[in-house]
Structure 1
């Protein structure tokens, strides 16, 4: 969200400076927990950035992390990955369709990462359907639909900016609870309708 705002507001905007200052304070808090490790705040910040870059580079060249990882770290990694997947499913899908959300995430995560984090494998049939639907969507969007009158990213940013992130989880759980209730009512009504139709046919 912060990076998206920086793009629209510009690097010299007061809002951007405020966001960067907040992030710098987070980084400063990290190095202050290890007094004497770094000679300055700047050195601590750059070390954090360097660690993030090195981790990305190391995974790209396939350094054998598993040989250098403890069972406890593997467990933390697997739990973090599961929270990430479940968070995506909770945000975008009602509970009775969350298996689709899980397959969407697993479809686009490299198999090495799925194996390392013990995330499981996506359903092969749904994976093909997901890729096909996305391909068709972009093909249709590019060749048949007209360009939007307003930039999609600008609209998305406005929508996200309206969300109070501190209460987002509460609103999502409330929305999903309502959807689950309506779905159960729909299934119940469908079953009652089927039973009623069968009874009516038998009388005939």
Structure 2
């Protein structure tokens, strides 16, 4: 492998795979066993597993009592029924707020590399951030709903391949490194585990879900392709084979010190794009005068090394304590309370398929503008009343 040195900026059209390639400073990405495997003879993603039996159905509504989801997951085989395990976990354990946090945090990770920053900077996340978020969630839920090896999932992945093709025409080389591209799915599969450990939750993710994620992710990333100039390699090559390798990959990525391989342009694009993802999350979920809370949540749920690479500040210690306490309570309650009878994410999935996402940013911005205006009027009214009361009190006491 030819190492990449710290780069001087060159015209975008003259850039290629080598321009964005990072020199590994602390070993190969977990899942890759040798440089020969990395460069010439990759381990290709496995074909969809052959079923060994008829898939066990979800229990009827009348039998969904207590911790029924965990019991059902224990009946499934993670080697062949990984799609159903992930589908059940995402449908019943997930929520739109949790997916929004995962989306923002994962993409902040992804834009820390020069290729990731170049591919995403200044595009839809900046001008239509909410549309991009909902479209991403819709695709993710399509893959979960239809299964990693289905024709429907392949069709949706091809749509993203076509979107990527538009990017690599303007940013050659940005989609040439499979390990960076597959990191999106790897991080997605691991982030709940990271959140639980960060906030000090008592339990890890369900063991069956841990075993199913690598099998599911390998098949999904297998549908994505690198740039034609690089042989249209599958992004699923050398994918982590088990959850231990998934965790090792995320730790490796987090600790990969490539600052001296980035130039000022890379760092600026990383920072600006990371700020765009954080702003989108805050604008979607918090009134503007409380968006510091949303920022504190994201900063707390990002590792320190990732914050450093993105040139983000550390969370305020009070917000950090509050965030950890709140999310630990959420996880503890989730693990203690009875499982939901109906899938909480189902309505969200249905809604985003029906919405006109091209208008979602204007709608959300208009809502926040009106909310800010109402709060401003309320504040002025309260201030006027207090001032009037104080003036009245002053004259009465005279």
Q: Above 0.5 in TM-score?
A: yes
Unaligned runs of 5+ residues in structure 2 are: 1-136, 177-225, 241-247
Pairing 1:8–2:145 present: yes
Matches within 5 A, 1:68-107: 68-107=261-300
**Alpha-carbon distance in structure 2 between the residues aligned to 1:60 and 1:189:** 54
Change (3 A) 1:196 1:115: same
Change (3 A) 1:40 1:185: closer
Matched length:
198
Number of the residue aligned with 2:344: 152
**Alpha-carbon distance in structure 1 between the residues aligned to 2:239 and 2:264:** 22
Contact 1:31 1:44 survives alignment (8 Å):
no
CA-CA distance at 1:59 after TM superposition: 6.8
Pairing 1:173–2:365 present: yes
Number of the residue aligned with 2:380: 188
- What is the CA deviation profile of residues 23-45 of structure 1, one whole-angstrom value per residue up to 9, with x for unaligned ones? 233345567776xx999689324
Q: TM-score, normalised by structure 1?
A: 0.80
**Alpha-carbon distance in structure 2 between the residues aligned to 1:191 and 1:78:** 38
Change (3 A) 1:133 1:14: same
- What is the CA deviation profile of residues 62-111 of structure 1, one whole-angstrom value per residue up to 9, with x for unaligned ones? 33301111111111111111111111111111211111111111001111
Contact 1:89 1:101 survives alignment (8 Å):
yes
**Alpha-carbon distance in structure 2 between the residues aligned to 1:28 and 1:52:** 22
Provide the alpha-carbon RMSD of the alignment. 3.3
Change (3 A) 1:91 1:70: same
Matches within 5 A, 1:137-148: 137-143=330-336, 145-148=337-340
Change (3 A) 1:112 1:42: closer
SS of equivalent to 1:195: helix
Number of the residue aligned with 2:303: 110
CA-CA distance at 1:14 after TM superposition: 6.1
Number of the residue aligned with 2:112: none
Number of the residue aligned with 1:44: 232
**Alpha-carbon distance in structure 2 between the residues aligned to 1:171 and 1:9:** 30
Q: Which has the higher helix share?
A: 1
**Alpha-carbon distance in structure 1 between the residues aligned to 2:237 and 2:295:** 32
Contact 2:227 2:233 survives alignment (8 Å):
no
Change (3 A) 1:175 1:128: same
Contact 1:28 1:45 survives alignment (8 Å):
no
**Alpha-carbon distance in structure 2 between the residues aligned to 1:39 and 1:171:** 36
Range with greater deviation from structure 2 (93-102 or 24-33): 24-33
Change (3 A) 1:198 1:176: same
SS of equivalent to 1:44: coil
SS of equivalent to 2:155: helix
SS of equivalent to 2:231: helix
